[in-house]
Amino acid sequence: MVPRRKKFKFRLYIAGDTQNSASAISNLAILCKKHLLNRSETEVVDVFLEPDRALADGVFMTPTLVKLNPHPVRKIVGTLILSRRLMQCLQLGEFA
């Protein structure tokens, strides 16, 4: 059971206005809404608009979701299709 007080912090790197970007954003939104009611915070970075950040953060495949909080930091590549593995990775396994 994830403690209720714990706040989730995500950063989602997307590459422009593509199908993948849109899917990732909406999938993440659904996930947060369903499992992390008001306990999540997401920063969306468009690498085409901020290429320096992609270079600095080592984001080479998009979309990439970085879970900054709670630790450990995890990187997930792809459109975030809901799966058991994704939930496990986000430590939301119980809700899958």
Smaller CB distance to other proteins: residue 14 or 36?
A: 14
* Sequence-ordered list of residues with C-beta below 8 angstroms from that of 11, at least 6 positions apart, any chain: 42, 43, 44, 45, 65, 66, 68
Smaller CB distance to other proteins: residue 69 or 82?
A: 82
Smaller CB distance to other proteins: residue 9 or 38?
A: 9
Smaller CB distance to other proteins: residue 18 or 69?
A: 18
Task: Indicate the helix (H) or strand (E) that contains 11.
Answer: strand 8-14
Smallest separation (angstroms) from other proteins to the CB of 79: 3
Block residue for tokens 């994704």:
86
Per-residue tokens: 95: 């809700």
What's the CA dihedral at 85, 76, 81, 55 to 10 degrees? -170
Binding residues for other proteins, rule: CB under 8 A, are 13-16, 18, 20-21, 23-24, 27, 47-48, 50-52, 54-55, 58-64, 74-81, 83, 85-86, 89
Smallest separation (angstroms) from other proteins to the CB of 19: 8
